[in-house]
Amino acid sequence: MVDSGTEKAQVGKVSRPRGRPRSFDRATALEKALMAFWEHGYEATSVSELTSAMGIGAPSLYAAFGDKQALFAEVVREYGVRYGSFGDRALAEEPTARAAVERMLREAAVEYTAPGRPHGCLVIHAATNCTSPEVEGSLRDRRNASIAAFERRMRDDVEAGELPADTDVAALARHTGAIIQGMSQQARDGASREELEALAEIAMAIWPRT
Amino acid sequence: MVDSGTEKAQVGKVSRPRGRPRSFDRATALEKALMAFWEHGYEATSVSELTSAMGIGAPSLYAAFGDKQALFAEVVREYGVRYGSFGDRALAEEPTARAAVERMLREAAVEYTAPGRPHGCLVIHAATNCTSPEVEGSLRDRRNASIAAFERRMRDDVEAGELPADTDVAALARHTGAIIQGMSQQARDGASREELEALAEIAMAIWPRT
DNA sequence: TCTTTTCTGTAGCGACCGCTAGAAAATGAG
DNA sequence: CTCATTTTCTAGCGGTCGCTACAGAAAAGA
């Protein structure tokens, strides 16, 4: 049952696997599950909601993804790649921590209110009020890891002389995290892209004047 | 069954009601329910968890509080009075919007990490990922009402000349809401009072220099 | 005492939860 | 073709959900 999802690629010919072929596309089914979890969270999304959203029966779901928790873990991974990577990209590509945060907040306003998909951030919301400590903890770890990444990037800037030596990088990172989390919450509560952009712009005023 | 909770006070003598007296104190039972909902949220707190936390049987719960949703509504009301009033107090008592927000954030750092009770804010978290739109919406309305109250207080200051005439009060109010919501989230994620206080202090830097 | 009223405890309702056994269907291998 | 393998579909498992019928217990009033 391990590695049940990956199709082993053969040299040259495609050579389909032995038994009855799967009647659905695994990637699109995963995407449907992602949307369902994103919209309603881990516990409030029942397996029957998942199966009907994914267009498959329950046994197919369990055969292809393990169980509900494993499917959610895979959804979270996929979310990180498809929707949650703008922060890492900003941190990696921008020349300064300040520019990275500014771009991150600006992009968050767009991402969190994008039409045609749930608002806000899956990592922030999908495992709140969750009976399983494992699931709740996995997303909490991700949130705290993000703040730690902010702090590392800021500390680099301090060491490079880009930020004042007495900068409280831990608090500055926490502040950035709070803004992101608050923006996500307000996107869920109906705030528009423009409103979040104005919020982000105000939040940038904590940085030393340019 | 309406008004089943309130004991009608008589002039002079106490005159207990007719039938078998209630074996539990309604207020302390409500407080236990409040803690349970605060900790785990609306849906993740089952009726059987509630009954065992409150120390009563299910029929007693339904007789005294209606149903789960009515109990939650009463809990939210009680929470607003007992734990969620520091914001309104700051807005009402402080001379300026800025002083009110500063005090509110400082107090939020304390309230959201107070020992012996759940961290963060019930209004922000207890109805996320909720199957019932009514319950989810009731808390969302409260959150948006808070931001609207911030905005009104700020607009008063603009009209009084306490804030610049071109202040974007809507964005400033949203920013304050985002900080509060982010602080609550991070309190749930394990941040300490000191960390939240440092976050709050940084957030105050968006206001014009004193 | 007896009746009336209200609350308590037991026991269980129907509905949904996550999950799976087992048979039928669809493919490749021989 | 038959056989082995894998997926699909149907049906349903045990468990928990929110909630309640019912009988007995505990009080006031007659």
Q: pLDDT value at position A210?
A: 65
- How does B119-137 read in b/e, with b if 16+ C-beta sit within 10 Å? bbbbbbbbbbbbeeeebbe
CB contact under 8 A, A185 and B191: no
Average pLDDT, chain A: 93
Share above pLDDT 90 across residues of chain A, in percent, rounded to a whole number: 90
Please check whether the domain covering A24-68 is classified as CATH 1.10.10.60.
yes
CB contact under 8 A, A129 and B40: yes
Q: pLDDT value at position A141?
A: 98
Taking 60 as the threshold, does the pLDDT of residue B88 lie above it?
yes
Please check whether the domain covering B83-205 is classified as CATH 1.10.3080.10.
no
A19 or A125: whose pLDDT is higher?
Answer: A125
> For the segment A58-115, what is each residue's pLDDT rounded down to a tens digit?
999 999 999 999 999 999 999 999 999 999 999 999 999 999 999 999 999 999 999 9
- Kindly give, in sequence order, each residue whose CB lies less than 8 Å from that of residue A181, ignoring residues fewer than 6 positions away: A121, A124, A143, B178, B181, B182, B185, B186
Establish if A170 touches chain B: CB-CB under 8 angstroms.
yes
CB A206 within 8 A of CB B203: yes
**pLDDT-derived band at B199, boundaries 50, 70, 90:** very high
| Alpha carbon distance A51, A41 (integer Å) | 15
Q: Per-residue DSSP letters for A122-144?
A: HHHHTTTT-S-HHHHHHHHHHHH
Q: A116 CA to D7 C1', in Å?
A: 32
Q: How far is CA A162 from CA A97, A158, A165, in A?
A: 9, 6, 9
Taking 70 as the threshold, does the pLDDT of residue B3 lie above it?
no
Average pLDDT, chain B: 93
Domain segments of chain B as ranges? 24-68, 83-205
CB B112: neighbour CB atoms within 10 A?
A: 23
From the list B179, B190, B206, the residue facing A178 with the nearest CB is B179
A14 or A133: whose pLDDT is higher?
Answer: A133
Distance from A46 to chain B by nearest Cα, in Å?
Answer: 10
Q: Per-residue DSSP letters for B52-64?
A: HHHTS-HHHHHHH
Taking 60 as the threshold, does the pLDDT of residue B30 lie above it?
yes
Share above pLDDT 70 across residues of chain A, in percent, rounded to a whole number: 93
* Protein-proximal positions, strand C, CB < 7 A: 4-12, 16-22, 25-29
CB contact under 8 A, A140 and B190: yes
Taking 70 as the threshold, does the pLDDT of residue A123 lie above it?
yes
Residues of chain B found within 8 Å of residue A186, distances taken between Cβ atoms: 147, 174, 177-178, 181
Across residues B69-98, what is the average pLDDT?
98
Taking 80 as the threshold, does the pLDDT of residue A186 lie above it?
yes
> For the segment A187-205, what is each residue's pLDDT rounded down to a tens digit?
999 999 999 999 999 999 9
Q: How far is CA B72 from CA B4, B46, B78, B85, B188, in A?
A: 16, 12, 10, 18, 20
Q: A190 CA to D19 C1', in Å?
A: 34
Residues of chain A found within 8 Å of residue B101, distances taken between Cβ atoms: none
A14 or A128: whose pLDDT is higher?
Answer: A128
Q: pLDDT value at position B71?
A: 98
Distance from A66 to chain B by nearest Cα, in Å?
Answer: 23
Taking 80 as the threshold, does the pLDDT of residue B159 lie above it?
yes
- Measured at the CA of A98, the angle between CA A94 and CA A99, to 5 degrees, comes to 35
Q: What pTM does this model have?
A: 0.92
Q: Which residue bears the tokens 């994620």?
A: B189
Q: Per-residue DSSP letters for B109-155?
A: HHHTT-TTS-SS-HHHHTTTT-S-HHHHHHHHHHHHHHHHHHHHHHH
Closest CA to A201 of B175, B23, B162: B175
Q: Per-residue DSSP letters for B15-38?
A: ---SSSPPSS-HHHHHHHHHHHHH
Across residues A169-185, what is the average pLDDT?
98
CB A27 within 8 A of CB A10: no
Taking 70 as the threshold, does the pLDDT of residue A170 lie above it?
yes
Fold matches, A24-68 and A83-205: no
| Alpha carbon distance B65, B75 (integer Å) | 10
